[in-house]
Amino acid sequence: MHNEFTAIIEGDETAGFWAYCPEVPGANGQGATLDEVRADLAAAIELMLELRREEGFRDASPGARRDRVVVG
């Protein structure tokens, strides 16, 4: 599955970079280069979405139907 998210990146080559994703609260990344901060943020987004999926499955009632919806 391919998804695109917004990365808000701050910093510079001297201090390093840090980033967050406004669509996925809690997803933050850091790195010495732009490539590193993007990769770290992507891993954080993936982890946060996985955790939210697990929470959603755990909280669903026993008779709930599991289905898919496509966006975009």
pLDDT at residue 1 is higher than 70 = no
Q: Using an 8 Å Cβ cutoff, are 28 and 45 in contact? A: no
9 or 65, which is more confident? 9
* Strands, sheet with 16-20, edge to edge from the N-terminal-most edge strand: 8-12, 16-20, 28-31
Domain spans of the chain? 8-56
Lookup: tokens for 5: 């998210």
pLDDT digits 0-9 by tens, 28-43: 999 999 999 999 999 9
Per-residue pLDDT, averaged over 35-64, amounts to 93
Q: Which residue has the higher pLDDT, 2 or 67?
A: 67
For residues 9 and 19, the answer to whether their CB atoms sit within 8 Å is yes
Contact 27, 48 (CB under 8 A): yes
